[in-house]
Amino acid sequence: MRILTAVIAIAVGSMVLLGYFSTSFINIQTLLLNWAIILAGVAALAGVFNLITVHGNKVRQAEKNSIYSAVLVISLIATFILGIILRPQHAVMQVILNGIILPVESTLMGLLTITLLYAGIRLLRRRVDVMSIFFIISAVIIFLGSATLPSGDIPLIGTLVRPWLSQIWAMGGARGILIGVALGTLVTGLRVLFGVERPYGGK
Amino acid sequence: MTPIIALGFLFLTIFLFLVVFLFIKKYTPQFREILALTRLARSLGLSVEDGKRLHISLGHSSLLDERGGSAFAGLSALRIISEKTSVSDMPPVASAGDAALGLLTQDTMQAGYQAAGVEELYVHTTSRVTGLTPFSYTVGAMYIASDENVSTNIMLGHFGAEASLLADVADRNYATLIGASDNLAGQSVLYASTQDALIGEELFATGAYLDTSSSHSASLIVQDILRWLIIITLLGGSALKFIGVF
């Protein structure tokens, strides 16, 4: 079984990869990617089932804060059933989306700005080194240079320092990091493609 | 022209990987110290002794796009971590923000238990899909980090700025946080939120630092060789441009 799963993964991976370099493999690449999308849809159902199982167990065992698990399971099942019966375009489903889900995500976004500010404040308490000081100074300059003030841009910082910092130094650093990430992704992908790394089939 | 260069680069990577893999079987490579990974290795042992959990968050990478690389790197680390900590009273918990990644998380953790010879201890609810959007995933992972006696949060995968919420929970619970993301916003947030940050490709080095297998070490050496090749190409190209060849 393990060998079969590895053979399938390697064969499918190789054909999808070849599709990027040879026109003869484009059709099979498209077909395989479509299959993958369908499988990802099925996996989403498995993921939802996993979520219900985990939180259902918490409620059954009356674990700490299990009330939130109960709310999650009830909301999930109710939304799922309503979505199937009424369809996503129905007014009730739109109310659920626009009245509950989107505001909750917006609230989290607001909370995120506070936690980011707090993380910035704590940085120098946690780690006092040259890089952290540069990090804070850069963040403050970018922040001041991007701030919308009634008087317009802050002279020098908004017009000269911020663009110089963000378009030369930060851009260069970001490209360097992204090249590193791309190389890591390439090598990791090849490890999976050749079956050296097999996060499937229980090995 | 671009596909030919890409294909050439691909074959070069494969060739280097094979050569290095065969070469390092005879020699043990020495890697520079990465403080975050030293801390991670130490926290694996401490969690077993303290009777506390490790929480491994694999982010919300989709396996169908370029973010899948970080997911596979996270899974590779998860496989080693689950093998090393499976005998703990409090088994590690893994969370994923993508359903397909969640399935692989279960399979990987089970394989770790199997390798440790304690497959019967594996509980499938220790690998969880906590949400399918970045925020819902993070909130679900925050719930684990705050309520399940977690001593160390390990974030390896694709995280955006929302990683800050999870980092904040870890801080408030006095838990150690080790994080790496393939996303620039996520990296900057984790840089500000962790004691020792993992930057860029260090995410992909986790496997080699936790496990001394030849294949992990070979991957890391190939990454280093390719990085030097790119640096030389960039500098050479700039020099040639400067002297007017291009």
Same domain for B203 and B225, yes or no, is: no
Q: Is the per-residue pLDDT at A70 higher than 90?
A: yes
Q: What is the mean pLDDT of chain B?
A: 89
Chain B CB within 8 Å of residue A169 CB: no
Same domain for B44 and B122, yes or no, is: yes
Same domain for A110 and A187, yes or no, is: no
CB distance B36 to A126 below 8 Å:
no
Same domain for B86 and B204, yes or no, is: yes
How does DSSP classify residue A73?
H
User: pLDDT tens across A183-200, in order?
Assistant: 999 999 998 888 888 887
CA–CA distance, B141 with B97 (Å, rounded to integer): 9
Chain B residues with CB inside 8 Å of A108's CB? 135, 138-139, 162, 165
Q: Is the per-residue pLDDT at A202 higher than 70?
A: no
Phi, psi of A58 (to 5 degrees): -65, -40
Q: How far is A89 from chain B (nearest CA, A)?
A: 20
Same domain for B14 and B90, yes or no, is: no
The domain in which residue B8 lies consists of 1-28+213-235
List all residues of chain A from 66 to 125 with a beta carbon under 8 Å from chain B.
68, 105, 108-109, 111-112, 115-116, 118-120, 122-123
Same domain for B72 and B170, yes or no, is: yes
- Give the mean pLDDT of B56-80: 90
CB distance A72 to A55 below 8 Å:
yes
Q: Is the per-residue pLDDT at B171 higher than 80?
A: yes
Which of B133, B192, B136 has its CA nearest to residue B168?
B192
Q: How many domains does chain A have?
A: 3
- Check residue B55 and give its pLDDT: 95
Chain A CB within 8 Å of residue B62 CB: yes
- Check residue B66 and give its pLDDT: 81
- Check residue B217 and give its pLDDT: 87
Q: How many domains does chain B have?
A: 2
User: pLDDT tens across A106-138, in order?
Assistant: 999 899 888 888 888 888 888 888 988 988 899
Chain B residues with CB inside 8 Å of A83's CB? none
Q: Is the per-residue pLDDT at B212 higher than 80?
A: no
- Check residue A203 and give its pLDDT: 54
DSSP string for B161-225: TTHHHHHHHHHHTT-EEEEEESSHHHHHHHHHHSSS---GGGGGGHHHHH---HHHHHHHHHHHH
User: What CATH code is carried by the domain that includes residue B203?
Assistant: 3.40.50
- Check residue A156 and give its pLDDT: 84
CB distance B215 to A191 below 8 Å:
yes
* Percent of chain A surpassing pLDDT 90: 42
Q: Give the relative orientation of helices A26-60 and B99-115 as an angle to the nearest 10 degrees.
A: 70
Same domain for A201 and A135, yes or no, is: yes
- Residue B242, domain member (yes or no): no
Which chain A residue lies closest to B135 (C-alpha atoms)?
A105
All residues at 6 or more sequence positions from B154 whose CB lies less than 8 Å from its CB, including other chains: B40, B54, B55, B56, B57, B77, B81, B178, B179
| Structure tokens, B148 | 């399940």
CB contact under 8 Å between B99 and A64, yes or no, is: no
User: pLDDT tens across A13-33, in order?
Assistant: 999 999 988 888 999 999 999
Same domain for B207 and B217, yes or no, is: no
CB contact under 8 Å between A21 and B226, yes or no, is: no
- Check residue B101 and give its pLDDT: 93
- Contacts by A166-172, CB closer than 8 A, 24 or more apart: A166/A142, A169/A138, A170/A138, A170/A142
- Check residue B129 and give its pLDDT: 93
The domain in which residue A109 lies consists of 88-126
Residue A37 host element (H or E): helix A26-60
Same domain for A52 and A13, yes or no, is: yes
- Residue B62, domain member (yes or no): yes
Same domain for B202 and B217, yes or no, is: no
CB contact under 8 Å between B200 and A181, yes or no, is: yes
- Check residue A157 and give its pLDDT: 85
| Structure tokens, B230 | 């790119």
Q: Cα-Cα-Cα-Cα dihedral of B139, B141, B143, B147, to 10°?
A: -160
CA–CA distance, A134 with A191 (Å, rounded to integer): 37
CB distance B172 to B145 below 8 Å:
no
Confidence of residue A201 (pLDDT cuts 50, 70, 90): low
Q: How many CB atoms within 10 Å of residue B165?
A: 22
Chain B residues with CB inside 8 Å of A118's CB? 168
Q: What is the mean pLDDT of chain A?
A: 88
Same domain for B127 and B6, yes or no, is: no
Same domain for A15 and A81, yes or no, is: yes
Give the position of tokens 């008087």: A151
- Give the mean pLDDT of B197-204: 88
Same domain for B17 and B107, yes or no, is: no
Q: How far is A50 from chain B (nearest CA, A)?
A: 6
